[in-house]
């Protein structure tokens, strides 16, 4: 069977799967409180992590099934040795569109240029606060100067349009929202605020209720109203195009973007809210994940995985890898269940999945 003969992936709720979030490692140079417990995690043996050649093969099959967008994640993807080599291999796959990466930026001062030259299009940078002490408390590392240097390197290398991500936790960094929004705007970027999601044992290090730290997007907007008069950006139509604005011009909205966009009419500042807890966006989800050890995972919050590493290492055909993709798509929930009072959500740490 030729790859071009394969049928595109559609899950059982008629959602096409076109976006793969690819974890290249479960290792990280930070120890963020919302991502892993203080003692860290038991990492995957290096022999069990997919090689660059294995990753490229899985992605190529996925592209034949309709994948057009790829995001490199971790752990922290930049701690994987020779990452630009992988990016160059992926860039050579015909039919693959945007290749982006989520990173903490601490190594971008040295890697931004090589990654851009290899074919990386842009980056999302995790930035939970601009206060050095709070940054050290959240990451359990004193790293803000390295992050700031990485941000400037990303801009200089053209890894844009740049987006910043902040996981907002009540009592940890909720006082920083206005400063973060202004910082992003000064650099022509969107600031995206993420509702804290209780996952794995890391949630026990934040508070024992696993929900008290969650600050909803509505609460965040009240805080931001101190400096910004935010209004919603236009909503996308079913074909992914934005409804024409009747007010100030704004960038087109993306139907599949989990961040719901708002902008300040006075300053032009753009922010997005990822409302995984208060108002999930599962009905437009087009994502699947590939973990560092080679498991296709249909949902970040769902403990369901389909092993492809064994296929790769036992002579499995591309058609069988395609079947693994379809099997994972068929397992995908209609919506996540993190807000239910039953232990159905993921017990794996965020760092081990590739958020």
CA atoms of 47 and 167, how far apart (whole Å): 32
Residue 272 tokens read as 């997005």
Report the binding-site residues for S-adenosyl-L-methionine: 34, 75, 126, 197
pLDDT score, position 336: 58
CA atoms of 241 and 235, how far apart (whole Å): 8
Under 8 Å between Cβ of 272 and 190: yes
CA atoms of 281 and 194, how far apart (whole Å): 13
CA atoms of 27 and 75, how far apart (whole Å): 5
Report the binding-site residues for GTP: 21, 71, 102, 163, 287-289
Closest CA to 256 of 297, 288, 285: 285
CA atoms of 87 and 245, how far apart (whole Å): 37
CA atoms of 67 and 287, how far apart (whole Å): 9
CA atoms of 110 and 27, how far apart (whole Å): 19
For the segment 214-252, what is each residue's pLDDT rounded down to a tens digit?
899 999 999 999 999 999 987 655 444 444 443 333 444
Report the binding-site residues for [4Fe-4S] cluster: 28, 32, 35, 282, 285, 299
pLDDT score, position 205: 54
User: Exposure pattern of 164-192 as b/e (b: 16+ CB <10 Å)?
Assistant: bbbbbbeebbbebbbebbbbbbeeebbbb
* Sequence-ordered alpha helix ranges (H) in the chain: 52-64, 83-91, 108-118, 132-139, 144-157, 177-186, 202-206, 217-224, 309-312, 318-331, 350-353
Q: What is the mean pLDDT of the chain?
A: 86
Residue 328 tokens read as 């994972």
CA atoms of 350 and 183, how far apart (whole Å): 26
Residue 16 tokens read as 């096409």
CA atoms of 26 and 42, how far apart (whole Å): 9
CA atoms of 249 and 42, how far apart (whole Å): 49
N- to C-terminal Cα separation, the chain: 33
Work out the number of other CB atoms within 10 angstroms of the CB of residue 204.
12
pLDDT score, position 352: 55
Work out the number of other CB atoms within 10 angstroms of the CB of residue 73.
25
pLDDT score, position 247: 39
CA atoms of 15 and 17, how far apart (whole Å): 6
pLDDT score, position 244: 42
- Residue spans of the chain under pLDDT 70: 1-7, 199-211, 235-256, 281, 335-355
pLDDT score, position 188: 95
pLDDT score, position 245: 42
What's the CATH class of domain 3-353? Answer: alpha beta
pLDDT score, position 235: 64
Residue with tokens 């919302």: 34
Task: Please report which helix (H) or strand (E) contains residue 195, including its range.
Answer: strand 190-195
Residue with tokens 């890391």: 202
pLDDT score, position 338: 57
pLDDT score, position 301: 72
Which SS3 state, helix, strand or coil, does residue 133 take?
helix
CA atoms of 206 and 228, how far apart (whole Å): 29
Work out the number of other CB atoms within 10 angstroms of the CB of residue 147.
25
pLDDT score, position 284: 76
Which SS3 state, helix, strand or coil, does residue 47 take?
helix
pLDDT score, position 265: 93
Under 8 Å between Cβ of 152 and 110: no
Residue with tokens 């990654």: 115
Report the binding-site residues: 21, 28, 32, 34-35, 71, 75, 102, 126, 163, 197, 282, 285, 287-289, 299
């Amino acid at each position: 069977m030729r790859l071009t003969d394969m049928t595109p992936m559609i899950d059982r709720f008629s959602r096409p799967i076109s976006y793969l979030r690819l974890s290249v490692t479960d290792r990280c140079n930070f120890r963020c409180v919302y991502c892993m417990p203080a003692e860290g995690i038991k990492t995957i043996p290096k022999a069990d992590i997919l090689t660059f050649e294995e990753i490229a093969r899985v992605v190529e099959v996925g592209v034949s099934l309709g994948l057009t967008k790829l995001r490199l994640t971790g752990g922290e993807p930049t701690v994987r040795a020779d990452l630009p080599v992988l990016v160059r291999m992926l860039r050579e796959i015909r039919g693959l569109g945007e290749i982006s990466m989520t990173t903490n930026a601490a190594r971008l001062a040295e890697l931004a240029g090589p990654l851009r030259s290899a074919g990386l299009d842009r980056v999302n940078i995790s930035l939970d606060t601009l206060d050095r002490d709070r940054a050290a408390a959240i990451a359990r590392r004193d790293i803000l100067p390295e992050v700031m240097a990485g941000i400037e390197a990303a801009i200089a290398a053209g890894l844009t349009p740049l987006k910043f991500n902040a996981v907002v936790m009540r009592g940890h960094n909720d006082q920083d929202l206005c400063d973060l929004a202004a910082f992003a705007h000064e650099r022509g970027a969107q600031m995206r605020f993420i509702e804290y999601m209780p996952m794995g044992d890391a949630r026990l290090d934040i508070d024992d209720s696993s929900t008290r730290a969650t600050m909803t997007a509505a609460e965040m907007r009240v805080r931001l109203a101190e400096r910004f008069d935010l209004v919603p950006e236009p909503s996308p139509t079913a074909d992914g195009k934005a409804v024409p604005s009747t007010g100030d011009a704004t960038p087109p909205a993306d139907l599949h973007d989990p961040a719901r966009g708002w902008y300040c009419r006075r300053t032009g500042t753009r922010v997005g809210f990822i409302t995984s807890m208060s108002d999930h966006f599962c009905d437009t989800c087009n994502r699947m994940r590939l973990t560092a050890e080679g498991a296709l995972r249909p949902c970040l919050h769902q403990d369901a995985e389909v092993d492809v590493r064994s296929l790769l290492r036992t002579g499995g055909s591309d058609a069988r890898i395609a079947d693994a993709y379809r099997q994972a798509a068929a397992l995908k929930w209609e919506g996540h269940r993190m807000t239910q009072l039953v232990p159905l959500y993921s017990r794996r740490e965020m760092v081990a999945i590739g958020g």
